């Protein structure tokens, strides 16, 4: 809370109205053509606009305690060397949202059993310029989120199934780390960790990729998730998109959907 207040004051946003979501639903940020010379007035605007400092501060907040802004900050981070007034306005919108939710935070505990559960999702071809997809995952321990990620996939996929499969791969490494961490702390998982996704084809592929002729182009490294399923470390479970917590990490959402998934992350008003 104190750091959010500091950033709000640093960027002169103390008297502004809060925003209901960190990024407007349907907003598509464009990357300017880097081959076109920058106009002198734009270069001057760049020199006096602390975009990188603001996005850096927002990233610190997103990584540490606010998974609800992780997607928005990840998108803004893609334009550190080519930002425009549109990107600056979007970054300020995130700050307005944080100002309005400064009394909210991750809450630990809850009524769910003390088990690790994962959620993952992808947004196919999210980037309009490169056609790259976005991977997102979060892991809950009991009722509370303890680990999350939202990032652009570094390969271009040709189907939503492939994009979801790469998201499975991304989450599998974090899952292995969390298993080792919990084991070292004396809470070793005694059964397969359920990982919930909303793509049936990707789930079938992870459970049995033999005999699927359309996956020859998928790089071998991405089949690590199949190994975890085969050895019983992971059990994949179907979840509808409306209840997939990781959806908040892959795309801009309308206020109602955003609020619902934020609640699933157990981001609540702090006492």
Q: For residue 191, how many other CB atoms are within 10 A of its CB?
A: 10
The more confident residue out of 194 and 205 is 194
- pLDDT of residue 243 exceeding 80, the answer is yes
The string of pLDDT tens digits covering residues 7-44 is: 999 999 989 899 999 999 888 888 887 788 888 888 88
- pLDDT of residue 62 exceeding 90, the answer is yes
Lowest mean pLDDT among 82-91, 135-144, 197-206: 197-206
The whole-number average pLDDT for the span 188-214 is: 79
Residue pair 199/229 in contact by the 8 Å Cβ criterion: no
**pTM score, whole prediction:** 0.89
- pLDDT of residue 80 exceeding 80, the answer is yes
Q: Give me the torsion for CA of 22, 24, 26, 27, rounded to 10°.
A: -90
Q: What is the CA radius of gyration of the chain?
A: 20
- pLDDT of residue 91 exceeding 80, the answer is yes
Domains annotated for the chain, with CATH where assigned, are 2-102 (no CATH), 106-269 (3.30.420.10)
213 pLDDT band, cuts 50/70/90, is low
The whole-number average pLDDT for the span 229-234 is: 87
Lowest mean pLDDT among 32-36, 56-60, 96-100: 32-36
The whole-number average pLDDT for the span 157-178 is: 87
| Surface-to-core class of residue 144, CB atoms within 10 Å of its CB (0-12 exposed, 13-18 middle, 19+ buried) | middle
The whole-number average pLDDT for the span 236-240 is: 90
The whole-number average pLDDT for the span 73-95 is: 93
**Residue 39 to residues 34, 45, 79, 81, Cα–Cα distance (Å):** 12, 10, 18, 15
Residue pair 20/97 in contact by the 8 Å Cβ criterion: yes
Question: Can you give the pLDDT at residue 34?
Answer: 75
Sheet holding 134-141, edge to edge: 144-152, 134-141, 116-123, 193-197, 234-238
Give the burial string for 202-231 (b: 16+ CB within 10 Å, else e).
bbebbeebeeeeeeeebeeebbebbebbee
The more confident residue out of 109 and 188 is 188
Lowest mean pLDDT among 83-87, 99-103, 190-194, 206-210: 206-210
Residue pair 152/70 in contact by the 8 Å Cβ criterion: no
Q: How far is CA 86 from the centre of its chain?
A: 21
Residues with Cβ within 8 Å of residue 213, at least 6 apart in sequence: none
The whole-number average pLDDT for the span 143-153 is: 91
Q: Which single residue is written with the structure tokens 């190994």?
A: 227
- pLDDT of residue 1 exceeding 60, the answer is yes
- pLDDT of residue 58 exceeding 70, the answer is yes
Question: Can you give the pLDDT at residue 223?
Answer: 67
- In the DSSP assignment, the letter for residue 126 is -
């Amino acid at each position: 809370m104190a750091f959010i207040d500091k950033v709000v004051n640093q960027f002169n946003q103390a008297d502004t109205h809060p925003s209901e979501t960190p990024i407007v639903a349907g907003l598509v940020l464009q990357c300017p053509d880097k081959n076109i010379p920058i106009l002198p007035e734009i270069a001057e605007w760049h020199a006096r606009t602390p975009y990188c400092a603001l996005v850096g501060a927002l990233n610190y907040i997103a990584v540490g305690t606010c998974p609800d802004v992780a997607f928005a900050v990840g998108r803004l981070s893609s334009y550190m060397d080519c930002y425009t007034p549109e990107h600056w306005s979007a970054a300020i919108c995130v700050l307005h949202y944080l100002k309005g939710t400064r009394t909210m935070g991750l809450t630990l505990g809850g009524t769910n059993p003390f088990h690790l559960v994962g959620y993952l999702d992808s947004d196919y071809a999210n980037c309009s310029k490169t056609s790259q997809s976005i991977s997102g995952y979060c892991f809950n321990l009991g009722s509370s989120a303890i680990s999350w990620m939202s990032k652009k996939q570094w390969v271009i996929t040709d189907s939503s199934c492939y994009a979801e499969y790469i998201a499975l791969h991304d989450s599998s490494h974090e899952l292995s780390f969390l298993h080792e961490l919990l084991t070292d702390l004396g809470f070793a998982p005694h059964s397969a960790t359920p990982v919930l996704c909303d793509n049936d084809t990707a789930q079938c592929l992870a459970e049995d990729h033999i005999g699927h002729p359309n996956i020859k182009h998928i790089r071998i490294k991405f089949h690590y998730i199949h190994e975890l399923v085969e050895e019983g470390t992971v059990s994949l479970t179907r979840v509808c998109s409306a209840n997939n917590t990781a959806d908040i990490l892959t795309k801009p959402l309308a206020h109602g959907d955003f609020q619902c998934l934020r609640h699933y992350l157990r981001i609540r008003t702090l006492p």
